[in-house]
Amino acid sequence: MTEAELIDAAQATWGNVISIIAILISLLSGYIVLAYVAAEKMTVAQVTIVNTLYILIYTLFLGSNYTLTTRATEMAELSIQKSTERVMGPTPELPILLVIVFGFCLLASLKFMWDVRHPNTE
């Protein structure tokens, strides 16, 4: 592949990464709204089902995001190797950073659900 083709493929993959980030934010927002509005009224079985589905779907999209970010970074690195003039390369730490940030968001949202269902009555 030429440098231009690699850059084009990397940019298309980055577009998919951004789309998945939007999906992750939508899932997170929906879960927090659900927790805030309905968590107190839900049974333990309902909370278990909602949490299980949320964790599975969120983890699936987070893993896909990691894979696509890694691939986009790799294609950008390959295009840099073929370049004779570009100096600014990709950031190879970005995939793991995205996993850390969105992993923290997952844990924080589960903590939010716990706090809504178990209010401090002091």
pLDDT in the model for residue 109: 95
99, pLDDT greater than 90: yes
- Residue 90 DSSP symbol: -
Whole-prediction pTM: 0.86
pLDDT tens-digit profile of 67-82?
999 999 998 888 888 8
Name the residue with tokens 């896909």: 64
d(CA 115, CA 86): 50
Cβ(21)–Cβ(97) below 8 Å: no
Please compute the mean of the pLDDT values over residues 100-110 and round it to a whole number: 95
